[in-house]
Structure formats: C-alpha cells, structure tokens
Chains A and B, each alone.
Chain A
Amino acid sequence: STALSPQQPLRCLFQSSPSFLHLRTNNSFNGRKRTFTKNLAIEFKQLPMDPPRRTSRVIDPKVRQVGFFTPRASPPDRTRSFPPASSSPPVSNMSPSGNSLSPVMIPPPRHASDNLLSFSALQSSSRAVGAPIPTSTLRRPSTDNLAVGSYNPSESLLGTSPVLSPSSNIVNGEFSEDSVNWIRRSNSGKFASSLPSGGFNLTVVASVAKKGRGISEKGGGTVVEVANDLQATSKPLKEKMTKSERRALQESQRAAKAAAKGGASAHEQLGKTLKQSSQKKGGPQVTSSIAASEKKGGDRPPEKDRKKDVPPPRMQFDDKSRVEKAKRRAVVKQTEARNRVELLRHLPQYEHGTQLPDLESKFFELDPMHPAVYKVGIQYLAGDIHGGNARCIAMLQAFQEAIKDYSTPPEKTLARDLTAKINSFVSFLIACRPLSISMGNAIRFLKARIVKLSLTLSESEAKVSLCSDIDCFINEKIVVADKVIVRHAVTKIMDGDVLLTYGSSSVVQMILLHAHELGKNFRVVVVDSRPKLEGQALLRRLVGKGLSCTYTHVNAVSYIMPEVTRVFLGAASVLSNGTVYSRVGTACVAMVAHAFHVPVLICCEAYKFHERVQLDSICSNELGDPYAISKVSGRMDVNYLDNWANKENLQLLNLLYDVTPSDYISMIITDYGMVPPTSVPVIVREYGKEHLLI
C-alpha cells in the first residue's frame, strides 16, 4: 500500500521524520492522524539507512532565513524567483516534506486537492518542528495555501526544542503581527491551517484519511470529494462545540472574577479574552478540549502576578518614538547605523567610532559618574575588556570603588540614594555596551544587598558591608566557582584526549592549564573565527605553558572534528530551557560535534544562569561593528567592500552571540556539579535566589 515513488529523494523523508516523532509524542491520540502516523511509521521502517539520525530528536541543522530583506523591497521582487502562487500544484513544490509524503497517502497525479490535504497536514506538522523551509516567502500572502498556524515555526532557530507553544512566540512585534495578518488572509478554507501549537485535531483528520484511504483502495475517483466533504463538515461542527464550551467556561470564570475583584478587573478580563479569541480567530481553534481551556483559565492569575515581577521589556530599537526619547536622555551621543539588517532592527547598533571620541570629550562633564565606573565604561566601549567574567569583575570592582567614595547626601537614605546612583552607573555602562547576562545578575545581587541593608547600620558600616559583599560575590560566584568547575572538568579529561575549544573562554583555559599541570597527556584544538580572533590570545597562553595545540578557524571544524574526543565550550549565559547563549559560532561547533558524536561540555558558572527562555538568537543579541567583518586586517588587496557601507542593498551583519539548543549539549559543568541541560531550570529555581542572598 505504501508505494514509494522512486523519484522521491529519501532525504526528504528524513526531514519529516522528526516531525513524525514529535507528532506521536505530543498529540492527544486521534484516529485520523494516527493512521497517518502509521503511514509514516511504515515509511520509517523502510528507511533504516541512517541510524544515528533516527535516534535523535532534532537532527538536521535547521535552515533559517535571517532577515536579509528590507521592507523597501516590493513583494513582487521578492516572489519573482518563485512561480506565481496559484492554487495547489505549486504548493507541492514548496515543501520537500509534503512532496515526499504525498505519494504514500494517495497517488499524486490524480487528486490534487487530496494531495493538498495530506500535504498540508504534513506540512504543518513538519513545520512544527521547524524543518527546513526553503524560503522566507512562505510567510507571504502569496503562498496562502500553505498551511501554517499562528505558531510561526520558521522562527525557531536551529531546531530549538520541538515543544514550542504558540504563546512562546518570541518574535518581536513586527513578526507576530505579520504572521497574524497572514493567517487572517489564509482563512477558513484551509482546514489544516489550524495547527498552531502542535496540538493537532487528530480525530477528524485521521478519520477522513482512513475513509479516504478505504475508498481509494476501492479505486473510486470521487473519493477526494468525499474526503473533502467529510472534512468540511466535521470541522466546523467540532469548532462550534469547542467555542461554545469555551465561551461558557470563560463566562463562568468571568463571573467569578467579577464577584471577586469588581467591575474593573472583569472588564479587563473581557478585554483579554476578546483579545485572545481575536488572536486565534485566524485559524480554527485547535486546543479544543475543555481540559486545555480550563488549564488556561487556571493559569491566568499567576501570569498576572508574574507580570509585576517581570522587569520591563528591553528597549526595542525599532520603536522609533522610544528610541528618540532614549536618545534625549542618553549620556553618549550615538549615531544609529544605517542599513541595519531588517530582522535585527530591535537591537541597538550605532556607528562605530563616533561614540568613543564623544564620550571621551565629555570626561569632565559627566559629573555624577565615578572615575572608576567611567573608566570601565570607556574600556567596554573601546573593547579593551571583553568576556563575561572579566566584564563582570571589572564592573563590580568599579562599583566597589564608587561605593567606597560614596557619601549619602543630607536628607537622603543610603539605600535609596545609592540604588539610584548604581542605576545611573548601570545606564551609563549600558550606553557604552549592552550588559551581559552575568552583569545583569551581578547588578541584581548588588541592588538586593543594598535594599537589605539594615537601617541601623551607620554609613561607613554599610559601605564596608557592601564592599565585602561585592568581594564575596566575586570570590564565591566567580573565583571559587571556576575552581570547582575546573575540578569537575578535569575528571573528564583522559590521557590521549583531543580537546576542542572555541574562542577564548577563561574557564576553559583554566581547565586546560590545570589538566596540564596534573600531567595529563592531551592535545588541544583551538578553533577561532574572524573578526575577533580571540582564540589567538588563548592559544598564546596555552602554548606558552607548553600544551600541544592545533589552531584552526571555524571553517575547518568539520575536518578537525573526527579526531576530537571532547569539546569544551564556554558560555555567556545558560538559559532555563538549557539553551546556551554564547559567542557566535559556538552553536556551529556544537552542532558539528553533535553530528560526529563528540560530547559537548559547556563550562559555565551558575551565576550566569538566567531564568529567561530564548529559542533563537534574534530577540536578544548584540550587534558588533559591521565594518569589522567587511575588512580583512592585513590584506589591503581584499577591499571589495570598501566604501560600500552606504549601499542601500547591502547590509552587514556582525552578530556577537548565538544560542545553542540544548540538544547539542551533552553536559553543563557548573559550580553545582555536572548537570544535563535539562537540569538548568532546577539550578535556576533552587539556587537562583541564593545568588541574591549569598
């Protein structure tokens, strides 16, 4: 029954296989889809030739289009390279997975629309895990008949964990709006466009498929019609039910709320539910079960509470009015860079080279700034200090100096005034360079300490106590933590190992040097990348101590990887979904290591952990000097991009960080021991408060 057409490339099937796994694990059972999954399973058995890939959840490097498109470019331009989106036939061209799977269900030539059915179901399912999507045009109205839910899977970077939910739509406003618009346009007709969360309404689809299948075995040409009809009828029915149910439930909840909280909050609630429903109006409801909606209802109050705790969102630099406001406040005059990459407009990017002279010239005018803080700021700006730990230590030491010289003005309390002072320092430092997560944590710690100072302390006592707290933080959270990490990590280094590291991580350096001191016999591969070439500094120190090293650039990482036995990487932060936020290129190294079955060990102090969840490297990142990548130092003849900065159709992107999904990480070595990435939230939960307390 499952005739695999020979011209279909096998690879395509594989691309959809993870989605299949996902389907089975994530969805409430449902007849129609079950058969469909069965089909898939059958196929799966037919294709045993790539065992390693089958076992892992996320396998293929997910291709994502970084937004090298501009709003200026007119849509026709963009779509020109594709056949004009007509009805169903071109669709099958669009998605390899749909294409490959369609023959299994029903022979393709005859029933275009049926093909569409199966295809679109598959399509959306495969997309739910963020399978490779050929073009960004998928999101465009012109390809309406492609099914995508409100969940915008193309945004999930590099195969982030497949259990995405629509609410975790992390994309900035522009995007979500975009997708919503799109969904509205791709209206009701597409039954399968209803799969926002990976919760598929399986019963309907499955049953239809079954029937369709049964009939098609009989060989009727009209089957398609039937299937479609079935589909059409069953769907709205179900929807109606759920809608009414949900409405009733919401009504009751609202009543209860109103009774409890009074009219105002009820009104708010109404607004909220309205908003919710309007958000989902685009595609038919999927999370249909009562249980789900109940759960939602139950979730809401804590969400509300949480909102109070959540710090205000980061400034989005594509919000023009707010940027203007911020500019007026800003200490440092910054010229926004032109020709920024569209997708990353929300990140600050300034003309490099203009900030430093300006800040320098204001040296004496920044009155409240402490010299030590100023010095650190200017060193950040000039790039004299880099690296999470170093920046954090430099900042804390500067704050320590500032606290030592601090005296409370009359008629003010130390706790409040000093907090305000620290805030002004911090905003100055942010103006110099965006804070790293480690610095953010350290600042939170310091502020918490200031607030918790007992009022009975005299000023000098309070200052001494704060200074010792800072010392304590540096000592316990960085210095001792590093030692613990080193102690753990050296147990993983055996004689004859070939260790690979990327960039220049202070902890990894300590580990390597310590292992060398212990007399272990191993070799180090230092992988580096332009434009910073930080690895050279590390290499210099390692070679200076007599380690045997290999130095290569990240381009050659796939070549060098087979001989590597372990990969040690540093991190700027580890987020609570196990994602590692680190120097750009880390994800690439980790991915290659994963593909070669080389364990990837992330070394990161626990104070850098953050409760945030980040699925891609877009929403929170840092942009470096774009000209750094267009120039090749020491090669005067490579000057193709000289004076091209102002070309409208050229955008240079120099991202500083990327995120490595937890799937590629074997282990995270922290001061609390060696943990799998899934245990990060536990550490954040159990010990996160401790950072603030010590």
Chain B
Amino acid sequence: MDFQVVVLAGGTSKKLVPLVSKEVPKALLPVANRPVLSYVLELLEQSNLKDLIVVVEGEDAALRVGGWISGAYVDRLHVEVAAVPEGVGTADALRAIARHLTANDILVVSGDLVCDVPPGAVAAAHRRHDAVVTSMLCSTPVSGSSDSGSSGGKDKAKKSGRCNIIGLDPTKQFLLHIATAAEVEKDIRLQKSILRAVGQMEIRADLMDAHLYAFNRSALQAVLDQKETFQSLKQDVLPYLVRSQLRSELLLNGAQAEENGNEKVASQNNKVMPSQLLANASTPSFHELYALGADGSAPVPRKTHKCCAYIASKSKYCARLNSIQAFNDINRDVTGEASHLSGYSFSAQNNIIHPSAVLGSKTTVGPQCMLGEGSQMGDKCSVKRSVIGRHCRIGSNVKVVNSVVMNHVTIGDGCSIQGSVICSNVQLQERVVLKDCQVGAGYVVTACSECRGESLARKEKIQSQ
C-alpha cells in the first residue's frame, strides 16, 4: 500500500525516572510482563506491516532494543533499528532517518502506544482525503479509575487543568486547530480564516493525540527541511501544518507541487476535463471551496492542504505510556478491561498464573492479576489487580494491591504494597509498607520502613540520569 512505518521508541524518558534506567529503556518497560514496544509491533504485524524502522534515542538503548527485537521477532518482522542522539525531539529523529524514507506516505507511531485501533484505519482516512497529515485522536483515558485512591484524584485534577484543545470541522474529519496541553493558557487563539472557511468548528477537550500519524512523505520532508527549528512532531510540525492549511507554503516547493506541475505541463484541454469532472462530482471539502475563492472564481487557486483526524471509536482501547500513572493504568487495563491486548489466555478466575509459579497455602490471587514464570509466593498472601513478574520471591503474609512488581524482586514477609511500582532486582525487607511509591531497579528497602508517594531509587542512578 506504499506506506512506510517509523516507530519512535524513545530512550530513557525523564518522566518515568525511577522506572527506566540504562538497562531498561522506555521501550522495554514491561506491561503485563511484555515490553511495551511489543504492543506496537504486534499491532503493526496484525496489520500486515512487517517492514519497520524503529528509532531509539541513545546508542546503548538502541542496542538493547535491537537485541530484544531480533530475539523476539527474528523471523516475523523485518526491523531496522536506528539510533539517534539522546535528547533530540521527534522531528529531529525523523530528520535523522529521512534518507531511509522512500514511500509515498509514512506512518509514524510512538513506541509507547498501547492500543487496538488498527493503523490501517488511519492510513485509509489519510488516503481517502489525500491529506498531508492524519492524526489519530482517541478519547482521553480516565486516569486512576477504580480505587487507586487519592493519587488518582490528584492526577485527574491536574489533567483537567491542562488538556489538549482540538478543533474539528462538523464532519469530524479535518483538524482545524490543535493546541497541546502545555501551550494552553487562559485563552485559545483561533484563526479567523479557517473559521470563516469552514463556518463551524467543534472544539473538543476530551481528545488525546495518540501519536499515531500518517504523513505525506514529501510534505513532511519539506517541513523538516524548511523549518529547522522544529523539534517535536506534536508540538511543532503538526500545529504548523494545521495552522497553515489554507495558505500552504510547503506545497509550493514540495514534491506535491511537482505533481501539480506535472498536471499543468500535461494540461491539454482533454486532460483537464476528466479531473474537472471528478472535482465536480466529488463533494468538495472546505479546502477546495476556499481554494476556489468565495464565489468560485479566484483568479489563481489558493494552495491548501488537508489535515485530517481519525477519531478512534470509544470502544477501542488506546493509551500512551508516558507517565508513571499511565504505567500503572496500562498495566491494570491490560490485565483487566483491555485483556485482549495482552495476548494471554486468562484462566477461569480471570487471571494469569504461570504454571511454574508456586503459591503457598491460603494464598489468593484475585482476578485481573498476573503472576510470571517461576515466581514463588509464601503462605497467606493476597494479590489483587497486580502484575508480578518472573522469578520473584515473595514471603508470606504479603499484600499486593494495584501494583506492578517486575522481575527478580524479593519481598520479605509481612509487606504491604499498594499502588506502587517495584522495578527489577529490588529487595523489600520484612514488613515494609509502600503506598503509591516507585522503587527503582536494584534498590533495597530496609525492614519496617513505611513510604507514601515517594520515589525511591539508588542515588547514583538518579544523578547519572
């Protein structure tokens, strides 16, 4: 179908600090005991997209991600892993691999996306309108639902304060305005020209940019070449394209202009007629109407381009792993409401317990839980809505609720863990009580300590980051 796929897997994101480390870049963070990147790769594989370019920040991270991919998808996918320097934006990442891009359209997917919206739908919407960019929007997930307590509420409050503002045309197919949460202050500035051309704009605050874009390659490259200051796709390129859709600058010297030029070169009368027939027969979008001028008689058609939006239906799951809260939420959802994403088959109790896991007497593992390979649990433990990784050793009388425990974690007797994330190789000594904490890899929590909403990590790690 003439699409190329670029997966932007990121590096070691600062937002996820105690969780990610040199050893575990963001792309390899486990979601239901699988690296988060695998969700994207499998989504693409399902859509028959098997030639991928994965862009990773940092050489080390690239090596690790590449190693994992080649191990896991050795004969299923054809993946090229490209490394870009750390700290570059998404736009720069694309600039770096620009010479690899040859197809007509490019699908850019964020590596931290966990969703079941077929990317084909975005691509189809993109093709249908011949758009320059099509962005997938999904409804903002309600973070910290159920009983994750106060922290969830806090986050919600925080989020409702700053949300994306997205303007759509009445048919909900075109993007008219986009402002990311960071930019939104008290006022929203809208362009009069767009508003005048469309006549009606729907402004939504309940939509989230899923970081799944279809770009027209030539247009994208033109933007990247012309605007060297652009750092990020979401914050610079997309708003720019949306802003300039009725006075398109890029198409004047982009490759699309070539196409236009070609048409004009070959514009004998007879060539124009069919295209005119086609144009008359198709329902014109406001772009075409605007291009022709108010009364259909603009002397020179104005250059426009289309920015489309694909709005995922509410029944689809779509979330991005871009914060610790999101990490918790996604882990919970993948074992819970979006269980089809995990790829595991659930037992009758609606949980997954690896056959090699050992449970002590009177230990209960509730629904929506996951217990990894080779983990051992002592007596009288209780696990609710949590994911426990491989080869963990958990003592007796331990309570794990709403938490994620990664691999090779040792938990002493009598611990209570609530709403926390415990990274690999952590040791929790006896009777530790953790609530809403993140424990970085390799950390040792001393016995009887009680923490609330803290981020625990080895000092030198944090400094090195």
Contacts and interface: CB of A to CB of B under 8 A. Distances in A.
Interface of A: 357, 359-365, 367, 369, 371, 374-375, 378-379, 382-387, 389-391, 393-394, 397, 474-475, 478-480, 482, 504, 506, 509, 537, 540-541, 544
Contact of B128 (A362, A375, A386, A480): A375
Contact of B127 (A374, A389, A391, A397): A374
A378 B120 contact: no
B282 A363 contact: no
Interface in B1-36: 1-3
B91 to A, nearest CB: 25
A540 B124 contact: no
B190 interface: no
Interface stretch (B270-278, B339-347, B360-368, B443-451): B270-278
A382 B3 CA distance: 22
Nearest to B280: A506
A479 B123 contact: no
Interface in B92-131: 104, 118-121, 123-125, 127-128
Given A357-B121, A378-B124, A478 B283 contact: no
B281 interface: yes
Contacts of B118: 360-364
B123 A363 contact: yes
B277 A363 contact: no
A540 B289 CA distance: 11
Contacts of B123: 363-364
Given A384-B128, A474-B274, A364 B281 contact: no
Interface string B277-320: 11011111000000000011100000000000000010000000
B268 to A, nearest CB: 10
B283 A383 contact: yes
A480 B277 CA distance: 13
B278 A365 contact: no
A474 B313 CA distance: 40
Contacts of B282: 379, 384-386, 390
B49 interface: yes
Given A379-B282, A474-B274, A479-B270, A364 B119 contact: yes
12 contacts: A360-B124, A363-B118, A363-B121, A364-B120, A375-B127, A378-B127, A378-B128, A384-B282, A390-B277, A390-B281, A504-B280, A541-B296
Contacts of B191: none
A360 B281 contact: no
A177 B283 CA distance: 43
Contact of B121 (A361, A384, A387): A361
B229 interface: no
Contacts of A383: 283
A361 B312 CA distance: 11
A71 to B, nearest CB: 35
B273 A482 contact: yes
A387 B49 CA distance: 35
A91 B457 CA distance: 98
A367 B50 CA distance: 12
A544 to B, nearest CB: 4
A365 B277 contact: no
B47 interface: yes
Contacts of B1: 363-364, 369, 371, 374
A506 B273 CA distance: 11
A74 B439 CA distance: 74
Contact of A361 (B2, B120, B277): B120
B318 to A, nearest CB: 14
Contacts of B274: 393, 397, 474, 478-479
Contacts of A482: 273
B48 interface: yes
B278 A390 contact: yes
Contacts of A357: 121, 313
Given A363-B121, A384-B283, A394-B278, 8 more contacts: A360-B124, A371-B104, A379-B282, A389-B281, A479-B270, A537-B283, A540-B296, A544-B295
B295 to A, nearest CB: 6
A360 B295 CA distance: 35
B128 A382 contact: yes
Contacts of B120: 360-365
Nearest to B50: A364
B185 to A, nearest CB: 35
Contacts of B278: 385, 390, 393-394
Nearest to B1: A371
Nearest to A384: B282
Interface in B117-164: 118-121, 123-125, 127-128
A379 B128 contact: yes
A540 B128 CA distance: 25
Given A371-B2, A374-B1, A360 B121 contact: yes
Contact of B296 (A374, A375, A544): A544
B137 to A, nearest CB: 15
B209 to A, nearest CB: 19
Residue of B47, B119, B278 with highest tally of chain A CB at under 10 A: B278
A374 B282 CA distance: 16
Interface in B423-459: none
Contacts of A360: 118, 120-121, 124-125
B276 to A, nearest CB: 9
The 10 A-B pairs of least Cβ separation, nearest first, read: A363-B120, A390-B281, A544-B296, A361-B118, A360-B124, A387-B281, A360-B121, A364-B47, A363-B124, A364-B120
Contacts of B281: 385-387, 389-391, 506
A509 B295 CA distance: 17
Contacts of B283: 383-384, 386, 537
A118 B293 CA distance: 70
A544 B48 contact: no
Given A397-B274, A541-B280, A544-B297, A365 B47 contact: yes
A544 B3 CA distance: 40
Nearest to B310: A360
B265 to A, nearest CB: 16
A555 B282 CA distance: 26
Contact of A478 (B3, B47, B125, B277): B277
A474 B275 CA distance: 11
Nearest to B269: A479
Given A378-B124, A385-B281, A363 B47 contact: yes
B256 to A, nearest CB: 16
